[in-house]
Amino acid sequence: MIADHLPVLVVVLPLVGAFVTLLAGWADRRLCFPIAMATTVIQFCISLLILSQVMQTGPLHYNLGNWLPPWGIEYVIDQLNGFVLVVILFLCVLTCLYSHRSTPSEIDEKKIPAFYTVLLLLVTGVCGIAVTGDLFNLYVFLEISSLAAYALVALGREKRSLVSSFTYLVMGSVSACFILLGIGHLYIVTGTLNMADLARVLPPLYGSTVIQTAFIFFIIGLSIKTALFPLHLWLPDAYRYSPSAVTVLLSTVVSKIGVYALIRILFTVFTPAFIIFEIPVMEVFCWMAAAAIIGGSVLAISQTDLKRMLAYSSVSQMGYILLGIGIADSLAVTGGILHILNHAVMKGCLFMIAGSFIYSSGIRSIEDLRGIARTMPLTAAAFVIAAASMIGIPPTVGFMSKWFIALGALESGQWIFVLVILASSLLTAVYFWKVIEYMYFREPGTVCAGTVSTARDPPAGMLVPTLVLAAACILFGIFVSIPLEVIEPFVTGILGGT
């Protein structure tokens, strides 16, 4: 039955789609978008079927080539990666729709086939990371998605796009080296790369220096991938100078799959017994996350470019996910994983809005947004909703994840991190209010009066996905029980409800 092969189809389909898109682009570049769009929509439907099956029958196991693990490569899907798979493909569908109108205005027309081909290769990589149960296979897919991301950043028309892509490549290569060294150290000692098998074999070896070194390599490598402060230096320029649709993908899909890989290695490969009791690294994680939350917010306040402001805001928001994981309380971990969805929705909406401003008016500077709410009312309203969610105003999604993390911090006696969350929310309100003030309460300036006065809300292809994400900022805050039904069983399973 085809239903038995859904775990592998979700990876193979975009790979085939990338090849078809490339061939179709040679004949007629107008065919590239419909092929990419159809591919991502089908994948999203498959991810929903997979998650539904996981919730009904438990984790899915798929052995490639009928080679049994640990010798063969195994795809394993549980509540965590089933949830992540749905989130990233939901954002891929909306970003692909958004790109149809935004991308031709930001890259050369002859590069359109390359854009959609590489986009589908990126989707292949992130889906492979999500479903694989093999550590080396995870590394391979991580490199596929990273190489595709470097190429997408470089497609921008500005010269700085190439520099940003090169910086991203260098940092990504350093990250990959650490991860590969970690994999090699584990294989030397255990002789296996299957994640479930590693979880079984590792406990007697927790005191091994080689195992502990491998763990440190993984933490450093994945911290660079997720742009954890202060290893975030590649991120602001990559977000600023890439095409708008690429920025959305980087901030929602690529960053979230990196966090997923970190969670998977921490809790599935090394298990809570190692990270909490054997090497109490979670306290270090908490303080690094706190530094990211405050540092990213402070850096965001000082920015004059909207996309760079949102980039530093992402550094701060990723800290919330890592803080929830670091506290290692069931409520806090639930909030951290919930923030994967929430941040993807909020930041995807905000970067789409930034792209809409560029598309309609050419404006990138915050100060040049004076009075733009009068000519782009729907876009400005969506910005207010997403900004309120970033601040954490109830009943938005941002409030719910912060609430769970704060409750977890209080429950575990780490009240200092509640103060960090409150301080960051105030700082977030400062830099988002600055944008809202310029949009709604300032008269258009002499420099940009012409561009603001002629600006209009973007075409439906860009506006609809933006409004969908803005609505999701409210709906998932009100109906938070929907994602929690998926997240809580996984958290209970790994922490035992403690």
Q: Does a cis peptide bond (omega within 30 degrees of 0) precede residue 395?
A: yes
pTM for the structure as a whole: 0.90
Task: Tell me which DSSP letter residue 317 carries.
Answer: H
Map tokens 């402060």 to a residue. Answer: 229
Distance of CA 474 to the CA centre of its chain: 19
At residue 452, the pLDDT reads 67
Q: How many whole angstroms separate alpha carbon 25 and alpha carbon 33?
A: 10
Q: Which two tokens stand for residue 175?
A: 């990250």
Identity of the residue numbered 186: L
At residue 381, the pLDDT reads 92
Q: How many whole angstroms separate alpha carbon 23 and alpha carbon 44?
A: 24
3 state SS of 428: helix
Q: How many whole angstroms separate alpha carbon 244 and alpha carbon 352?
A: 7
Q: How far is CA 304 from CA 2, 293, 367, 416, 454, in A?
A: 52, 20, 7, 31, 22
Whose CA is closest to 88, among 61, 112, 122, 58?
A: 122
Q: How many whole angstroms separate alpha carbon 195 and alpha carbon 260?
A: 14
pLDDT digit string (tens) for the chain, length 498 residues = 666 788 888 999 999 999 999 888 888 888 889 999 999 999 999 999 999 988 888 888 888 877 777 777 889 888 888 899 999 999 999 999 999 888 888 887 888 888 999 999 999 999 999 999 889 999 999 999 999 999 998 887 777 888 888 888 888 898 899 999 999 999 898 888 888 888 888 888 888 888 888 988 988 888 888 877 777 777 788 888 888 889 998 888 888 888 888 888 888 888 777 877 777 777 888 888 888 899 888 888 988 888 889 988 888 888 888 888 888 788 888 888 888 888 899 999 999 999 988 888 888 888 888 888 888 889 999 999 999 999 988 888 888 888 989 888 888 888 888 898 899 889 999 989 988 988 888 777 554 444 666 778 788 888 999 999 999 999 988 888 888 888 888 888 777 644
Q: How many whole angstroms separate alpha carbon 318 and alpha carbon 64?
A: 33
Q: Cβ of 177: how many Cβ atoms within 10 Å? A: 14
